[in-house]
Structure 1
Amino acid sequence: MKTNELLKDFDPVSAKQWKQKLQADLKGGDYNELLSWTSPEGIQVKPFYSEDDLPEDPGIPATGTGNWKIGYRIGNETPSEQISEALQADIEHFVVGTPESFSAAFQHKAVLGELQQPVYLDFPGTDVLLADWISQSNLKHPVILVDPIGHLAATGNWHSRETNDAGSLLKALSHPAATEAEFRFAVHADLYQNAGANRVQELAYALSHALEYLLWSAEEKSLRPLLQQPVFHLAVGGDYFFEIAKFRALRKLWARVAPEYGFSGDCLIFASPSLRNKTIYDYNTNMLRTTTECMAAILGGADLVCNLPYDQIYQYPNTFADRVARNQLQLLRHESYFSQVHNPADGTYYIESLTDQLGSKALELLKQLEKGGGFLKQLREHNIQQKIRESATKQQQAFDSGSKVLVGSNKYPNADDRMQEVLQKSIQLAKKSRKTLLEPIIPSRLATNHELKRLQDEPR
């Protein structure tokens, strides 16, 4: 590590000296008991960190290129005028988010077709009709992200059924239009975070999910190109330093696991703020949350960051919130210089320690999952759903008791807030009655029940 010239006139302070100083200030009290706390993943967070806490072998680098991109997600509700504005802004990559949103994007095929950068079509299933859409869209650099297992986890059903999903994917790859596109497997690990998984579970489930595709490619060699640089979708939670470490740990873990199957271990990580901690009351705090969450993703080495409008959970897409969300990323890039430093977290005692511990715990859980038959088997037996539900319940209890704080919601609420008249969407997830192969993993927000009661109590 390069010596900092600013510190050359100061004597180094050892960990022992720090402990002695803490104990003196605490008048002999146990600093571990008074100042330490334990994360939901079982990681003890100490009051200070030193060089002694760095991993003995840093091993694989924990960051990407450092050249992160500003992304924009076109959803099925995105109005045409918002897409048009985004196309004129400094957006570097577009992600067409759902099959329903293809028609909205298609209205701008002339402009999208002129883009020099890739357009990502985030397609959960493997429908061969996707290739027909590509041939009509005139996109120069379409990248098709397929995640049939993610579709199964989110809906409880395959797009058709497992064998047909794999067969449809092979048909799409052989379609004449497929030569104009690049196909990649994606892993929607953001689902697990938004449903309440802790960070170790997120990492382990993401890797186990990806391992299923590695096994598919072992049986069907034509799928191997889809895993040369897969895409991991991660949601960013509110615990700043832990989230930085989570992104770094995922990259290190994939770089360790993938070479065992003959792949380089390279990947792309797409990030977007979590929905789980967003609120309708005191909604402007969502802008503060999404800003720090985007910062954590960037410092953790995300390759593409798509921000979340502050009002997404209760209003339909609108140009004002959309512009604010884009400008948050522009401020981070151009005014905060977050694009100027490569791997700024490298060597930081606390983050390096968290990265190592999260990675070790996730690797251990991954081994347990694979020993138990792998991701799909655990999903079919509802073990993964149960573990996520247990984690989500603990988080909910922490919120309900006030130990998990969401400012403006369960702490420092604004009693004058009135939201009944401005709600455009239901803040509860619509429950669909349908037959499923397995229990789907359902996203949920911590503040929903609290907000429903508060809405009911608002003066009429």
Structure 2
Amino acid sequence: MANQKERLLTEFAPISTQEWMDKITADLKGADFTKKLVWRTNEGFNVNPFYRREDLEGLTTPHVMPAEYPYVRSTRMDNDWLIRQDINVVDLSAANAKALDILGKGITSLGFKLKKDQINVESLSVLLKDIFPEAIELNFVCCISVAAKLAGVLTEYFAQQGADVAQCKGSIAFDPFKKQLVRGISNPQWVTHCKALLDASKGLPGFRVLTVNALNLSNAGAYIYQELGYALAWGAELLDKLTGEGYSIEEVTSRIKFVFGIGSNYFMEMAKFRAARWLWAEIVGAYGEQYRGQVAKIHQQAVTSTWNKTIFDAHVNLLRTQTEAMSASLAGVDSLTVQPFDITYQESDDFSERIARNQQLLLKEECHFDKVIDPAAGSYYVEYLTNSIAAEAWKLFLAVDEEGGFASAVEAGSVQQAINASNSKRHAAVAARKEIFLGTNQFPNFTEVAAGKIKVEDEGPHTCGCGEATIEKLNFSRGASDFEALRLSTERSGKEIKVFMLTIGNLAMRLARSQFSSNFFACAGYKVIDNLGFKTVQEGVDAALDAHADIIVLCSSDDEYAEFAPEAFKYLDGRTQFVVAGAPACMDDLKAIGINNFINVKSNVLETLRGFNQVLGIN
């Protein structure tokens, strides 16, 4: 009986790909399959609506077990990642108290952001009091100009504490290309600085002190293949230059930490981390067979990206960070930082930090994501994505290599230019609602005001004396920033802009277009006045004027616009702004009589609303 149950699926006849295609084509009723269902990604390849085993034929993705070179599935035989939280150290004692508190709440990796004057043994003695360095991963962020000094101070502190440095794990976030990428400042001496840090870190064998900070690329709006391709070129540059200075492959790779951002594209982000393990192993393995073991394993920290986070309807950020945390943890990263949902507008508070911690704890304790290694393996879709992202990232890696390497590319500004161009394209997609930000450019909270809660101020120009900006730097404007600026300008103007829905005619069409228009104008912070319907155009216009409407939106069916629109426009006689919701066949005729404002699914929402703000005197 048991054997019969095991063979249950054999009772069903196999279905061929062609049979699936025939069924889908029939259901499309003449619509083009490619245009309707095939998705062209920003990464440069197509994604089909379904995948089968035959789609894996010819893919170069290695078929290996976890912890087997080239580690596409995992670098280890478990999936237990470290839960990291960073502390901005203002007061040393307060930071120590906070660190001890969150260690008791599930944190297994601590990060400290230090100021220059805090880098001494005395400060560390206060900051790390009662924290056992052998039991917790310790990570430090400081100005890159004092990173080597920090390594020496840490070594001295551990010696004073009698710590077993062989058991101490952590990192110093030294990014040798931060000056060029973030500040636009040339840094030709980066190799010298790396050497000084490596030498100062000899007493910290478990600390990774060279950071490939691809998080900055993600936060600047890079596409996934760009983030990965440039990160690989970055790591290869470190390997090439430092081995040329006499350091061994093992010495360099054991010191490199890759920090990636996590975006909201769930499966593609998962595939990115798998591809990163694979390609980095191939790069290290190219130095010889002897390097196709432990030394070729990448160390990945993942951080939820800020590019897709919003100020308005900020609790939606919780949904974004949750799916991002799922992508990274299922993909097998080594450590994970979930940024609090309020990071876009204030110094995070205890509540938002607790929720961010608990998001990871839930994935471990409730979902058991740490119990399964690479659960996506074998998925036709994820394997295809892994291969495709790897292929596009590898092309970019080779292109950077032909340009002279990553250092030359960032000094020339070509990396920054490419990513800024991607940022601009993504902003354009957000403006036209081709990329959706729930609560910002689609389905906004109509009544929300946000100016009062914004407490994070612009840092202003960098003044550490590290040089003048001569190179194009990365643009870190978030995807939602344009819509937020638009809505905040309305809010800060003190004006209450009223948009009146003149609904008339066909019930289904007027309701649908009223809902669309309400969401459209609410993105600018306008007050929307919706209506169930009017018997006549004159009745609707009179009601709008009685309500002191600044904009009247005619909502009806395409067929009825030929009658209703001219009548409403003539009766209104320029007393307020007039808009037609839709793109009716009679649009040219309506434009001929002076009706110029139309909104529909093809409208550039941002530019349209900016135009209304200008007309209505809002700067």
Q: TM-score scaled by structure 1?
A: 0.90
**Which residue does the alignment assign to 2:393?**
362
Q: CA 1:244–1:148 in 2, change beyond 3 Å: closer, same or farther?
A: same
The residue correspondences of 1:433-452 to structure 2 (distance < 5 A) are: 435-452=468-485
Of the three residues 169, 172, 176, the one matched with 2:197 is 169
Structure 1 residue 361 displacement after superposition: 1.1
Q: Deviations over 1:402-458 (max 9, x none)?
A: 1111000010011111112221113x5644476135333242201112212212212
Separation in structure 2 between the aligned mates of residue 167 and residue 268 of structure 1, nearest angstrom: 20
**Which residue does the alignment assign to 1:86?**
102
Separation in structure 2 between the aligned mates of residue 197 and residue 30 of structure 1, nearest angstrom: 31
**Which residue does the alignment assign to 2:312?**
281
**Which residue does the alignment assign to 1:63?**
73
**Which residue does the alignment assign to 1:20?**
22
**Which residue does the alignment assign to 2:258?**
232
Give the partner amino acid of 2:276.
Answer: L
Separation in structure 2 between the aligned mates of residue 77 and residue 11 of structure 1, nearest angstrom: 68
**Which residue does the alignment assign to 1:44?**
46
Of the three residues 250, 254, 265, the one matched with 2:276 is 250
**Which residue does the alignment assign to 1:133?**
153
Q: TM-score scaled by structure 2?
A: 0.68
Structure 1 residue 229 displacement after superposition: 6.2
RMSD: 2.7
Q: CA 1:183–1:239 in 2, change beyond 3 Å: closer, same or farther?
A: closer
Of the three residues 202, 211, 230, the one matched with 1:205 is 230
Question: Does the 8 A contact of 1:94 with 1:120 survive in 2?
Answer: yes
Q: Deviations over 1:251-294 (max 9, x none)?
A: 11101111113543211110011100100100100001000000
Question: Does the 8 A contact of 1:184 with 1:227 survive in 2?
Answer: no
Of the three residues 92, 97, 116, the one matched with 2:135 is 116
Separation in structure 2 between the aligned mates of residue 308 and residue 106 of structure 1, nearest angstrom: 28
Question: Does the 8 A contact of 2:195 with 2:242 survive in 1?
Answer: no
- Quick check: 1:423 aligned with 2:423? no
Q: CA 1:276–1:375 in 2, change beyond 3 Å: closer, same or farther?
A: same
Structure 1 residue 144 displacement after superposition: 3.2
Question: Does the 8 A contact of 1:148 with 1:158 survive in 2?
Answer: no
Q: Rg bigger for which structure?
A: 2
Give the partner amino acid of 1:420.
Answer: A
Q: Deviations over 1:225-254 (max 9, x none)?
A: 131363210100111111111111111110
Separation in structure 2 between the aligned mates of residue 101 and residue 5 of structure 1, nearest angstrom: 70
SS in 2 for 1:222: coil
Q: CA 1:380–1:71 in 2, change beyond 3 Å: closer, same or farther?
A: same
Give the partner amino acid of 1:317.
Answer: S
Separation in structure 2 between the aligned mates of residue 6 and residue 207 of structure 1, nearest angstrom: 47
**Which residue does the alignment assign to 2:408?**
377
Range that drifts further, 345-354 or 213-222: 213-222
**Which residue does the alignment assign to 1:397?**
428
Q: Deviations over 1:51-96 (max 9, x none)?
A: 1222534314423232222122233469625433212211122233
Q: CA 1:55–1:439 in 2, change beyond 3 Å: closer, same or farther?
A: farther
SS in 1 for 2:452: coil
Separation in structure 2 between the aligned mates of residue 173 and residue 61 of structure 1, nearest angstrom: 28
Question: Does the 8 A contact of 1:229 with 1:268 survive in 2?
Answer: no
Q: CA 1:232–1:127 in 2, change beyond 3 Å: closer, same or farther?
A: closer
Q: CA 1:124–1:248 in 2, change beyond 3 Å: closer, same or farther?
A: farther
Structure 1 residue 400 displacement after superposition: 0.9
Q: CA 1:302–1:166 in 2, change beyond 3 Å: closer, same or farther?
A: closer
Range that drifts further, 196-205 or 224-233: 224-233
SS in 2 for 1:369: helix
The residue correspondences of 1:311-330 to structure 2 (distance < 5 A) are: 311-330=342-361
SS in 1 for 2:400: helix
Question: Does the 8 A contact of 1:55 with 1:356 survive in 2?
Answer: no
**Which residue does the alignment assign to 2:221?**
196
Give the partner amino acid of 1:210.
Answer: G
**Which residue does the alignment assign to 2:554?**
none
Q: CA 1:163–1:58 in 2, change beyond 3 Å: closer, same or farther?
A: closer
